[in-house]
Structure 1
Amino acid sequence: MGLRERVNDALKQAMKDKDTTRLGTLRLINAAIKDQDIARRGTDNDTGCSDGDILAILGKMTKQRQESVRAYEEGGRLDLAQEEQREIEVIEEFLPRQLDEEEVAKAIDSAIDKTGASSIRDMGKVMGHLKENYTGQMDFGAVGPRVKDRLCA
């Protein structure tokens, strides 16, 4: 079952359970997916969102909410921070397990080997390979500097 179907099934279940927080978050996910589908209309890639695209959307939504949690906590609005945290938990149900530091290091080494990268000029190839194979499993903002360090060493 694809991610889109999993989200829709969870949405239906949240409606039955009358879980308003979960329902609202799932509706936001659905709206983001549909926005991406609409943006693709009329382009060469008019097939709609793939699971990889949906993982990218979910990752972006998680990151936005994590930033909101930090901002709310700094502003003393713990109630709003908790609400954002609950949304993060719902979104993360659909994301694959995050890789730990050791697994990320192995993935970087593997990507460098498979792409034949030898200098910083090849960083785009390595990052492309990682995004293709590990979308939703690692924070690419944190991985980029690690790849750069490996290629410069």
Structure 2
Amino acid sequence: MTLLDQLNQDMKQAMKNKEKEKLKVIRMVKASLQNESIKLGNDTLSEDEELTVLSRELKQRKDSLQEFKAAGRDDLVQDLETEVDILQKYMPDQLTDEELEMIVQQVIQEVNATSKKDMGKVMSAVMPKVKGRADGSQVNKLVQKNLG
């Protein structure tokens, strides 16, 4: 089942159950997927392209969440946390810290990285391998720790 099929199915269920928040998030994601499809000029998106859109939506909400927490906007924080939880259900299973650490160390050896100067090389090799399954800032911290 494609992501779009899953979203359509969940949207129908959310309508039946009168889950307004879930319905809003699903509609937003569907719109983002359709916009991406139009932008790329394709009728359908590949799994990788769908994952890119989902990751972008999730990252935007997490960034906003941090800003709202810092500004003390508790009224908006709760709404965004709900949206993040809903979006998280459509993401692939996240890598554990140990799995991510192994991937980072493996890539460091593959590209023969020795210092922080090689950070860009390592990051550009790691990110496609963990796409959608790990947060970029988490990867960045691990790479710095292992190159430090």
| TM-score, structure 1 as length reference | 0.80
Counterpart Cα distance in 2 of 1:59 and 1:73: 21
Identical-residue share of aligned pairs (%): 26
Query: Which residue does 2:92 correspond to in 1?
Result: 96
When structure 1 is superposed on structure 2, of 28-37 and 70-79 the one drifting more is 70-79
Query: Which residue does 1:17 correspond to in 2?
Result: 17
Structure 1 SS opposite 2:44: coil
Alpha carbons of structure 1 residues 4 and 132: separation in structure 2 relative to 1, 3 Å: farther
1:143 aligns with 2:121: no
Counterpart Cα distance in 1 of 2:120 and 2:70: 35
In the alignment, residue 15 of structure 2 is paired with which amino acid? M
Query: Which residue does 1:32 correspond to in 2?
Result: 32
Counterpart Cα distance in 2 of 1:35 and 1:12: 21
- Contact conserved, 1:22 with 1:90, CA < 8 A, in 2? yes
- Contact conserved, 2:119 with 2:144, CA < 8 A, in 1? no
Structure 1, unaligned runs of 5 or more: none
Alpha carbons of structure 1 residues 130 and 138: separation in structure 2 relative to 1, 3 Å: same
Deviation at 1:102, TM superposition (A): 1.3
Query: Which residue does 2:49 correspond to in 1?
Result: 53
1:82 aligns with 2:117: no
Alpha carbons of structure 1 residues 100 and 39: separation in structure 2 relative to 1, 3 Å: same
- Contact conserved, 1:36 with 1:48, CA < 8 A, in 2? no
| TM-score, structure 2 as length reference | 0.82
Structure 2, unaligned runs of 5 or more: none
